Structure 1
């Protein structure tokens, strides 16, 4: 029987053996660094656990599929020792164990967090994380703006919390604002977008945001818009609707089949100098034929838009893609929060908690989209199977 070598272990392997957790990647964008500037709402005497560790742990729990505060707390308490240390929880000098926060402590902190500061930190992290991920940087960036009501929540005056979000058409949430209880989405439009760097950005939104003030502001920021024209601007709608569309050449057409229906869409664009909307250079008309393959019924819809994009700046195909792509914010963000994360059934009502939970869900969905996951529920299950995966996604290990 051969003798077993007794040569000493190389120093490098000794160091590896003493490592308690995986080492952070040197080029990773770490969420904790962006959360470091969050104001701590707790009294100094009550700060037993680091704020960044608790918020990062909550974010990791949501990436692992946690739908509620209880599920987040369970994930934090079940995490291995090295995960707790990587998140920033300290070792107790007497027991040599890693102590993590109680579920009530997590709830109290998240309830009192500054929602604007948290969304700003998350937005900065996601934009830094997305830098350089694409093969080439596109000339234009399309950003959709849309609101969502958190049905089970309650704000001041007993009304449900209403959030306005901005998401690029690739699926990354760039910002979020809470609408004041006695207001609407319009005053929050500019504050939502003002820190995003809007040069070479095309903003898409629903008809509620087709406001002259928004049009002027976007052009001042160097951004362009594709604005829906409906009955809230009767004069502009009449002006656009009565253009000689029959004499205008077709700019783009497409045909799609799915979800039990057949759709055919035609786009026409026309240059018009005297549109009564700030900076408008072109009018657009989309005609959509939709046939239900079950009943055989066909519906025809005509939609009108104005845009500040000058003629020839982009193709008709690109404009049509942006018009359709606007609804990704509804289908790929708001709908996913309701189905995968059960946001529509949530009864969270205390303080900033409804908004904070929505922000953490935005973070998880955006990270998964950036990592090319198309099924967010499957991505959550995949992440939950290994406690290192949410940390890696957040740039911690």
Structure 2
């Protein structure tokens, strides 16, 4: 089944007199234009005009390509929640239930989506399956300060069984561990000052174990060393089981282990060191937690960075109604399609090839399914 079929149940809120162009035609046009490098309404219109014959291989486009203002009106009229449901349905079809992954949650602000007051810029939260390289969902948040409620909603929406959930310290909350555990997932959450008592108690526990059981520290540690560009980075991960000594353990669901990460950087004669702490539902496996902690940043490096640098999301000035949020979802559709492709090239290279070649574009949109 093609990705476009997942939009069959989306409600078309237009009146009958305004339905000159089929909703699915406009959605298909938008996604294929984005995967070919289009950034705004005018780009989508021009792509449609130049590729109408190709587009009609898949959809009727009985009345041709709508003008850019009509495209904007139709996309902005879509309910973001319904569009998200379509996106999640499509991604769930692609995901291998047996392919466990780190699912990283992180927020991102569309910096030019505001109209007048910069504080009104859209802030969204994405869930990213790092090993599969897929954005699983993205949802608008009222603000960065309200990310927690958005993450809770995404946890409820997604299939998490067997996956490891990572998020920054803002989400190190008892209700998050409860929600993840309810969906049969594991968690690995950084502890900072928002859990001050727990943070201090974990530090004290590591100090106690180092003094009384140094062999336990040694056998439960894993070290990585990376060098390049004139610097050496050494990371030491030490994981310990939660014991009755930790009084702050109460109230957390499946709180099974704690992790200490010591990061040291050497640049010439300069040496810096920082230590951070995590809580987890995972059993003792220092190599696994080391990999998972490093993989969390995949959402920044492989998703957010690509959206900004290749899809120019940060530069987008689309502001009409729900269009900014809906276009953000469509960009993630396009990015997932391109990542699933077997074509060997960078993301930017794939978009260029899709713009130039009907054959390449067809390969991208039909990567994981039959033709429409």
Q: Which residue of 1 aligns with 2:110?
A: 150
Q: Which residue of 2 aligns with 1:36?
A: 8
Q: Higher helix share goes to which structure? A: 2
Q: Which residue of 2 aligns with 1:280?
A: 255
Taking structure 1 as the reference length, the TM-score comes to 0.83
Matched, 1:188 2:122: no
Distance in structure 1 (CA, Å) of the matches to 2:142 and 2:183: 24
Superposition map of 1:162-177 within 5 A: 162-170=123-131, 171-177=133-139
Q: Secondary structure of 2:205's match?
A: coil
Taking structure 2 as the reference length, the TM-score comes to 0.88
Counterparts in 2 of 1:310 and 1:164: CA distance versus 1, 3 Å: same
Q: Deviations over 1:248-287 (max 9, x none)?
A: 1252111122455321111100011343433210010111
Q: Give the C-alpha shift of residue 374 in structure 1.
A: 6.5
Distance in structure 1 (CA, Å) of the matches to 2:163 and 2:270: 38
Q: Which residue of 1 aligns with 2:277?
A: 304
Q: Which residue of 1 aligns with 2:70?
A: 105
Distance in structure 2 (CA, Å) of the matches to 1:217 and 1:231: 22
Q: Deviations over 1:353-386 (max 9, x none)?
A: 1112211211122222222566211111122221
Q: Give the C-alpha shift of residue 155 in structure 1.
A: 7.4
Q: Give the C-alpha shift of residue 231 in structure 1.
A: 0.8
Bigger Cα Rg: 1
Q: Is the 8 A contact 1:150 1:161 kept in 2?
A: yes
For the aligned residue pairs, the C-alpha RMSD in angstroms reads: 2.2
Counterparts in 2 of 1:259 and 1:368: CA distance versus 1, 3 Å: farther
Superposition map of 1:48-63 within 5 A: 48-63=20-35
Distance in structure 2 (CA, Å) of the matches to 1:86 and 1:49: 17
Distance in structure 1 (CA, Å) of the matches to 2:152 and 2:21: 36
Which of 291, 306, 323 is 2:266 aligned to?
A: 291
Q: Is the 8 A contact 1:123 1:173 kept in 2?
A: no
Matched, 1:88 2:53: no
Q: Give the C-alpha shift of residue 296 in structure 1.
A: 4.7
Q: Secondary structure of 1:194's match?
A: helix
Distance in structure 2 (CA, Å) of the matches to 1:354 and 1:63: 17
Q: Is the 8 A contact 2:21 2:62 kept in 1?
A: no
Counterparts in 2 of 1:181 and 1:265: CA distance versus 1, 3 Å: closer
Q: Which runs of 5+ in 2 are unaligned?
A: none
Q: Is the 8 A contact 1:207 1:228 kept in 2?
A: yes
Q: Which residue of 2 aligns with 1:12?
A: none
Distance in structure 2 (CA, Å) of the matches to 1:155 and 1:203: 34
